[in-house]
Amino acid sequence: MKTNPTQTIDELITALSFIVDVEGNRKLYHGWRVAVLAAECADNLTVKQRREIFYAALLHDIGAVGLIRHIIYFLRMENKRSQTTLLSHPIISAQLVSTIPKMNRTARLILDHHEWCNGLGYPRGRIERHLPWGSQLLKAADSMDIAMRYHCHGQLNMMKAKLMNLAGKEISLKVCAKAITALKKDKLFHNLLNTDNFPRIFYRIKNRVGQIYIPKGIDVIGRTLEVVAQIIDMKHPFTAGHSIRVARYAMAIALAMKLEHDDVTRIKWAGLIHDIGKLTLPRKILDKPSSLTRKEFTRVKKHPETTQNILEMIPTLREITPIAVSHHEYFDGSGYPLGLKGEESVLGARILTICDAFDAMTSNRPYRKPYTPAQACREIQKLAGIQFDPNIVKIALNILRDLGL
């Protein structure tokens, strides 16, 4: 399968940054806005340094996906030190990013993006002289975005006053001056307030910054998708490891079916991100210990459509889209989102349907204990020809039964 890793990783990071900032029907654009602000503050740095800061900004809060609400609602409070749930998110974000090839320097900037120049930040309490310049700019951009949302009410003078109040405490005087200059340039402050027009501004800055070059010859796409899978599963504690397990089960079944190498790869990749649309669902639905209401279940049933919308932002992975989107289609046509019947659903999706159900049955849930692999296999056998493709079931059960050994 021909891929351009540089282009694919760029599209993946951009889409991931966007989707973790969607709450319900609201597009928050926090990562994108911080990236634009940080890049504009870094206009005097080298192209490479500016690029690293831009991508660090896109990914700086992915470690906070497990919070019960989006991180911006916590960051707006003044007493940040008292919010113990936030203290670890820079570490988690940096750890996740560091596993993506060629992203180590970006991860280091993320680690220190909540440090204050006076040493009262977190997670390490470092002072200005020990902080990377990129982390300081990232901190300023993060603070500016929160201030623009909750404190400054669209007035540049109020924003300048807020930054001056932070100078010498959270950010240095030098960083403060850079931030104020950036806000004035090309009416950046007012442009950021225009939500409808913002994506155009973001992509203009992004194209100017350029992509992080990823050499061919390493499985960077697969490894990055595994990071995305971890982020997806952080949203809901009971699904920890779900996406990676589904991908591995599906890959084993595809190999047993003697599919071509490229088909096995597509199925594995689709398995890793088949639930990315669930990132927009609120935790109160995902964690609910009782049956969902009809309205709540309708929202859950929309996550494959959301997955499709996200994957449309990643054109280089268009081949895995129908596999990932159709994992809730049933063999008898009673599934969703399109009600596809039999082989109308692509082969990879029919494999994922079995793997997704098997892992759901064998995992703990708020409302029930997990099935054993043998019990889950009996349920899958009962639903062969109804929910699952009976021909794939014959092969899959020989693999899934052995997981109980």
Average pLDDT score over residue span 74-83: 60
Q: How far, in Å, CA of 101 to CA of 57, rounded?
A: 17
Report the 10 Å Cβ neighbour count for 329. 26
**Which is nearest to 207 in space by CA: 54, 316, 97, 101?**
54
Question: Of the segments 74-78, 85-89, 252-256, which one has the largest average pLDDT value?
Answer: 252-256
Query: Within the chain, which residue ranges are assigned CATH 1.10.3210.10?
Result: 5-209, 220-404
Terminal CA-CA length for the chain: 35
Beta bridge partners of 23: 26
In which band, very low, low, confident or very high, does the pLDDT at 199 lie, cut at 50, 70 and 90? very high
Say which residue, 24 or 10, is predicted with more confidence: 10
Could you tell me which residues come within 8 angstroms of residue 136 by beta carbon, excluding any fewer than 6 positions away?
Answer: 117, 128, 171, 172, 175
Is residue 80 predicted with pLDDT exceeding 90? no
CB 147 within 8 A of CB 198: no
Q: How far, in Å, CA of 117 to CA of 115, rounded?
A: 7
Alpha carbon of 195 to those of 46, 48, 58, 138, 397: distances in Å? 29, 28, 17, 21, 50
CB 350 within 8 A of CB 342: no
CB 23 within 8 A of CB 70: yes
Is residue 326 predicted with pLDDT exceeding 80? yes
Lowest model confidence (mean pLDDT) among 217-226, 242-251, 388-397: 217-226
Q: What is the pLDDT of residue 67?
A: 85
- Give the CATH class of 220-404: mainly alpha
- pLDDT single digits (tens) 160-180: 999 999 999 999 999 999 999
Q: What is the pLDDT of residue 82?
A: 46
By three-state DSSP, how is residue 365 classified? Answer: strand
Lowest model confidence (mean pLDDT) among 20-24, 32-36, 117-121, 222-226: 20-24
Lowest model confidence (mean pLDDT) among 27-41, 73-87, 262-276: 73-87
Q: Looking at the domain that runs over 5-209, which CATH code has it been given?
A: 1.10.3210.10
